[in-house]
Amino acid sequence: MVPSATTSPDVLLVPGAFSGPWIYADVVERLAAQDVEAQVVALPSVGGPSTGDGFGADVAAVRGALDAVGRPVVLVAHSYGGSVITDAAAGPHPNVLELVYLCAAAPGSGASMASTTAAVTPEGQDSPIQVGDDGLASFPREVARQALFNDADDDRAAVALDQLRPQDMSGTDRPIETAAWTELPYVNVSGTADLVPRAVAPDFPAGAAQSVELPSGHCPQWTEPELVADLIVERLRTER
Protein backbone atom coordinates (compact mmCIF):
# COMPACT_ATOMS: atom_id res chain seq x y z
CA MET A 1 0.00 0.00 0.00
CA VAL A 2 1.23 3.48 -0.85
CA PRO A 3 1.61 5.59 2.30
CA SER A 4 -0.42 8.72 2.81
CA ALA A 5 0.98 12.14 2.02
CA THR A 6 3.63 13.47 4.33
CA THR A 7 5.35 16.82 4.73
CA SER A 8 8.83 15.31 4.88
CA PRO A 9 9.34 12.55 2.31
CA ASP A 10 12.76 11.78 0.86
CA VAL A 11 11.33 11.09 -2.59
CA LEU A 12 8.37 12.22 -4.69
CA LEU A 13 7.22 9.71 -7.31
CA VAL A 14 5.14 10.72 -10.32
CA PRO A 15 3.32 8.08 -12.41
CA GLY A 16 2.89 8.12 -16.16
CA ALA A 17 -0.25 8.34 -18.25
CA PHE A 18 -3.09 5.88 -17.61
CA SER A 19 -1.65 4.80 -14.25
CA GLY A 20 -1.77 5.86 -10.62
CA PRO A 21 0.11 5.47 -7.34
CA TRP A 22 -0.46 1.71 -7.47
CA ILE A 23 2.28 1.32 -10.08
CA TYR A 24 4.92 2.39 -7.52
CA ALA A 25 3.58 0.31 -4.62
CA ASP A 26 6.43 -2.23 -4.63
CA VAL A 27 9.04 0.50 -5.02
CA VAL A 28 7.59 2.37 -2.03
CA GLU A 29 7.68 -0.83 0.03
CA ARG A 30 11.31 -1.51 -0.84
CA LEU A 31 12.30 2.09 -0.14
CA ALA A 32 10.65 1.90 3.27
CA ALA A 33 12.72 -1.20 4.02
CA GLN A 34 15.79 0.99 3.48
CA ASP A 35 14.42 3.79 5.69
CA VAL A 36 13.52 5.99 2.73
CA GLU A 37 10.11 7.63 2.82
CA ALA A 38 8.34 8.13 -0.50
CA GLN A 39 5.19 9.98 -1.51
CA VAL A 40 3.38 9.29 -4.78
CA VAL A 41 1.64 12.18 -6.52
CA ALA A 42 -1.62 11.09 -8.15
CA LEU A 43 -2.15 12.82 -11.50
CA PRO A 44 -5.61 14.41 -11.76
CA SER A 45 -5.66 13.80 -15.53
CA VAL A 46 -5.96 10.04 -14.98
CA GLY A 47 -9.42 8.55 -14.72
CA GLY A 48 -11.40 11.77 -14.56
CA PRO A 49 -13.33 13.81 -17.11
CA SER A 50 -11.54 15.91 -19.72
CA THR A 51 -11.00 19.40 -18.32
CA GLY A 52 -9.47 21.15 -21.30
CA ASP A 53 -6.05 21.29 -19.60
CA GLY A 54 -5.23 17.92 -18.10
CA PHE A 55 -1.52 18.59 -18.45
CA GLY A 56 -1.82 21.89 -16.57
CA ALA A 57 -3.70 20.15 -13.76
CA ASP A 58 -0.93 17.55 -13.48
CA VAL A 59 1.77 20.21 -13.37
CA ALA A 60 -0.14 22.05 -10.64
CA ALA A 61 -0.50 18.83 -8.61
CA VAL A 62 3.23 18.10 -8.73
CA ARG A 63 4.18 21.70 -8.02
CA GLY A 64 1.78 21.74 -5.07
CA ALA A 65 3.37 18.58 -3.69
CA LEU A 66 6.82 20.13 -4.06
CA ASP A 67 5.66 23.31 -2.31
CA ALA A 68 4.37 21.21 0.61
CA VAL A 69 7.43 19.07 1.30
CA GLY A 70 9.54 19.98 4.29
CA ARG A 71 12.92 19.53 2.63
CA PRO A 72 14.45 19.01 -0.82
CA VAL A 73 13.62 15.66 -2.43
CA VAL A 74 14.59 13.50 -5.36
CA LEU A 75 11.78 13.85 -7.89
CA VAL A 76 11.17 10.70 -9.95
CA ALA A 77 8.83 10.51 -12.94
CA HIS A 78 7.78 7.77 -15.34
CA SER A 79 6.90 8.09 -19.03
CA TYR A 80 4.42 10.98 -19.59
CA GLY A 81 5.17 12.09 -16.01
CA GLY A 82 8.58 13.20 -17.22
CA SER A 83 7.01 16.01 -19.21
CA VAL A 84 5.03 17.00 -16.11
CA ILE A 85 8.10 17.34 -13.86
CA THR A 86 9.96 19.11 -16.67
CA ASP A 87 7.44 21.92 -16.25
CA ALA A 88 6.58 21.59 -12.55
CA ALA A 89 10.17 21.70 -11.26
CA ALA A 90 11.23 24.64 -13.42
CA GLY A 91 12.50 27.76 -11.75
CA PRO A 92 14.26 25.71 -10.55
CA HIS A 93 12.02 24.63 -7.70
CA PRO A 94 14.00 24.96 -4.45
CA ASN A 95 12.69 21.67 -3.06
CA VAL A 96 14.21 19.48 -5.78
CA LEU A 97 17.61 17.91 -5.26
CA GLU A 98 17.59 15.95 -8.51
CA LEU A 99 15.28 14.74 -11.25
CA VAL A 100 15.10 11.07 -12.22
CA TYR A 101 13.55 10.36 -15.62
CA LEU A 102 12.37 6.74 -15.55
CA CYS A 103 11.78 5.72 -19.19
CA ALA A 104 10.31 9.20 -19.26
CA ALA A 105 9.57 12.01 -21.67
CA ALA A 106 11.78 15.10 -21.45
CA PRO A 107 10.70 17.96 -23.72
CA GLY A 108 13.11 20.82 -24.16
CA SER A 109 12.49 24.49 -23.47
CA GLY A 110 9.89 25.80 -25.90
CA ALA A 111 8.69 22.30 -26.80
CA SER A 112 5.64 20.40 -25.59
CA MET A 113 4.85 16.78 -24.77
CA ALA A 114 2.88 16.56 -28.02
CA SER A 115 5.57 18.08 -30.24
CA THR A 116 8.34 15.97 -28.70
CA THR A 117 6.27 12.80 -29.14
CA ALA A 118 5.54 13.70 -32.77
CA ALA A 119 9.25 14.14 -33.42
CA VAL A 120 9.99 10.51 -32.48
CA THR A 121 6.95 8.96 -34.15
CA PRO A 122 7.81 7.35 -37.51
CA GLU A 123 6.17 9.10 -40.45
CA GLY A 124 2.92 7.45 -41.44
CA GLN A 125 2.62 5.42 -38.25
CA ASP A 126 -0.72 5.69 -36.51
CA SER A 127 -0.81 6.11 -32.75
CA PRO A 128 -2.13 3.06 -30.87
CA ILE A 129 -3.82 5.40 -28.38
CA GLN A 130 -7.55 5.79 -28.94
CA VAL A 131 -9.46 8.97 -28.05
CA GLY A 132 -13.16 8.64 -27.24
CA ASP A 133 -16.02 11.06 -27.69
CA ASP A 134 -15.48 12.17 -24.08
CA GLY A 135 -12.01 13.45 -24.96
CA LEU A 136 -10.23 10.78 -22.92
CA ALA A 137 -7.44 8.65 -24.36
CA SER A 138 -6.98 4.94 -23.72
CA PHE A 139 -4.82 2.01 -24.75
CA PRO A 140 -6.49 -1.11 -26.16
CA ARG A 141 -5.67 -3.84 -23.65
CA GLU A 142 -3.69 -6.00 -26.05
CA VAL A 143 -1.61 -3.00 -27.19
CA ALA A 144 -0.90 -1.95 -23.59
CA ARG A 145 0.15 -5.51 -22.77
CA GLN A 146 2.84 -5.42 -25.44
CA ALA A 147 3.90 -1.78 -25.17
CA LEU A 148 3.93 -1.32 -21.40
CA PHE A 149 4.34 -4.75 -19.82
CA ASN A 150 6.09 -6.89 -22.41
CA ASP A 151 8.63 -8.03 -19.81
CA ALA A 152 6.01 -9.14 -17.26
CA ASP A 153 4.49 -12.59 -17.00
CA ASP A 154 0.80 -12.90 -17.81
CA ASP A 155 -0.42 -12.75 -14.20
CA ARG A 156 1.68 -9.74 -13.29
CA ALA A 157 0.71 -7.94 -16.49
CA ALA A 158 -2.98 -8.64 -15.90
CA VAL A 159 -2.89 -7.02 -12.47
CA ALA A 160 -1.49 -3.83 -14.01
CA LEU A 161 -3.77 -3.84 -17.05
CA ASP A 162 -6.82 -4.10 -14.81
CA GLN A 163 -5.79 -0.85 -13.10
CA LEU A 164 -5.11 1.33 -16.16
CA ARG A 165 -7.54 4.21 -16.56
CA PRO A 166 -8.40 6.68 -19.36
CA GLN A 167 -6.18 9.73 -19.67
CA ASP A 168 -7.05 13.38 -20.29
CA MET A 169 -4.37 14.44 -22.78
CA SER A 170 -5.61 18.01 -23.18
CA GLY A 171 -2.96 20.67 -22.70
CA THR A 172 -0.08 18.45 -23.84
CA ASP A 173 0.39 20.73 -26.85
CA ARG A 174 1.26 23.70 -24.62
CA PRO A 175 4.99 24.57 -24.88
CA ILE A 176 7.07 24.38 -21.71
CA GLU A 177 8.74 27.73 -21.14
CA THR A 178 11.87 26.42 -19.39
CA ALA A 179 12.72 22.74 -19.09
CA ALA A 180 13.63 21.90 -15.49
CA TRP A 181 16.35 19.50 -16.63
CA THR A 182 18.28 22.48 -18.01
CA GLU A 183 18.41 23.93 -14.48
CA LEU A 184 18.74 20.89 -12.21
CA PRO A 185 20.87 17.73 -12.12
CA TYR A 186 19.07 14.75 -13.59
CA VAL A 187 19.40 11.03 -14.21
CA ASN A 188 18.35 9.37 -17.45
CA VAL A 189 17.00 5.83 -16.93
CA SER A 190 16.06 3.59 -19.83
CA GLY A 191 14.89 -0.01 -20.18
CA THR A 192 16.80 -2.35 -22.46
CA ALA A 193 13.51 -3.98 -23.57
CA ASP A 194 11.44 -0.78 -23.71
CA LEU A 195 9.33 -0.73 -26.89
CA VAL A 196 7.97 2.80 -26.41
CA PRO A 197 9.93 5.52 -28.29
CA ARG A 198 11.50 8.03 -25.89
CA ALA A 199 10.07 11.51 -26.38
CA VAL A 200 13.14 13.47 -25.30
CA ALA A 201 14.87 16.61 -26.52
CA PRO A 202 17.93 15.91 -28.71
CA ASP A 203 20.37 17.28 -26.13
CA PHE A 204 18.76 15.60 -23.12
CA PRO A 205 20.88 12.39 -22.93
CA ALA A 206 24.22 14.22 -23.07
CA GLY A 207 23.59 16.36 -19.99
CA ALA A 208 22.62 13.62 -17.56
CA ALA A 209 24.52 13.31 -14.30
CA GLN A 210 24.11 9.57 -14.74
CA SER A 211 22.66 7.38 -17.48
CA VAL A 212 21.35 3.99 -16.39
CA GLU A 213 20.01 1.03 -18.34
CA LEU A 214 17.75 -1.40 -16.51
CA PRO A 215 16.91 -4.89 -17.82
CA SER A 216 13.24 -4.02 -18.24
CA GLY A 217 10.49 -2.84 -20.52
CA HIS A 218 8.69 0.48 -20.27
CA CYS A 219 7.54 0.13 -16.64
CA PRO A 220 10.50 -0.98 -14.50
CA GLN A 221 8.79 0.29 -11.34
CA TRP A 222 6.27 -2.53 -11.90
CA THR A 223 8.48 -5.28 -13.27
CA GLU A 224 11.83 -4.51 -11.57
CA PRO A 225 10.88 -2.55 -8.42
CA GLU A 226 13.94 -3.62 -6.45
CA LEU A 227 16.28 -2.20 -9.09
CA VAL A 228 14.35 1.06 -9.20
CA ALA A 229 14.34 1.37 -5.42
CA ASP A 230 18.08 0.68 -5.22
CA LEU A 231 18.73 3.33 -7.86
CA ILE A 232 16.70 5.92 -5.95
CA VAL A 233 18.54 5.14 -2.71
CA GLU A 234 21.86 5.52 -4.53
CA ARG A 235 20.82 8.92 -5.90
CA LEU A 236 19.70 10.10 -2.46
CA ARG A 237 23.07 9.16 -0.99
CA THR A 238 24.84 10.97 -3.82
CA GLU A 239 22.81 14.17 -3.48
CA ARG A 240 22.75 14.29 0.32
Q: What is the 3-state secondary structure (H, E, C) of 75-109?
A: EEEECCHHHHHHHHCCCCCCCEEEEEEECCCECCC
In 105-233, the DSSP E strands lie at: 130-131, 136-138, 167-168, 186-191, 210-214
Q: Which residues contact 126 (CB under 8 A, 6 or more apart)?
A: none
**Nearest Cα residue to 5 out of 37, 46, 47, 43:** 37
**Nearest Cα residue to 158 out of 142, 171, 134:** 142
Which amino acid is it at 234? E
pLDDT at 132 over 70: yes
Q: How distant, in Å, are the alpha carbons of 17, 71, 72, 105 from that of 30?
A: 23, 21, 21, 25
The 10s digit of each residue's pLDDT in 28-83 is 999 999 999 999 999 999 998 999 999 999 999 999 999 999 899 999 999 999 99
Helix (H) or strand (E) holding 220: helix 220-223
Q: Which residues contact 154 (CB under 8 A, 6 or more apart)?
A: none
Q: Over range 209-220, report the average pLDDT.
A: 98
The 10s digit of each residue's pLDDT in 162-210 is 999 999 999 999 999 999 999 999 999 999 999 999 999 999 999 999 9
Sheet holding 167-168, edge to edge: 130-131, 136-138, 167-168
What does the mean pLDDT of the chain come to?
Answer: 94
